Copies of this chain bind each other. A is one copy, B any other.
């Protein structure tokens, strides 16, 4: 019952048809599917099933903490403390052993110390770029995001997957050329 609330946490980016903003639950499904479909772009030996599990749980803390807009430095700075408090409450709803397991998956995702976590984070960053690229910039012009700001975010994609990072760069430069990202 608790996790149903994730369907009501709204993100900044839009669906591919631009009809409305995306929620965290459908986003989590989408990036889980990306892990299954784009698995060949992960480093060899990456445990993709672990990546899927990580992506399904990665936003649960936003039930309490909300979605921090990645290009808002004030929101981003306040987020780790809010998310830690959320994790303390939400994962404790489960039996102890199970709560620890799911929390460990979330912490692994946040720390990006494993290939699985780096690939999961890369997909999480890649998805809104793909959506914005295909919706005339989507949330980028709306929030006056510059091409430099988005280029900065590509580093995290490159660290998880070189080929996905290269493709994200391509999409960003195309979007900039079309005027969907400010200089």
Contact = CB atoms under 8 A, between A and B. Distances in A.
Contacts of A15: 4, 7-8
B1 A16 contact: yes
A29 B1 CA distance: 14
A3 B56 contact: no
Interface stretch (A32-40, A148-156, A172-180): A32-40
A19 B7 CA distance: 11
Nearest to A23: B26
A94 B102 CA distance: 31
Contact of A52 (B1, B23, B52, B102): B52
Interface string A1-35: 10111111000000111010011011011101100
Interface of A: 1, 3-8, 15-17, 19, 22-23, 25-26, 28-30, 32-33, 36-37, 49, 52-53, 56-57, 94, 98, 102, 130-131, 134
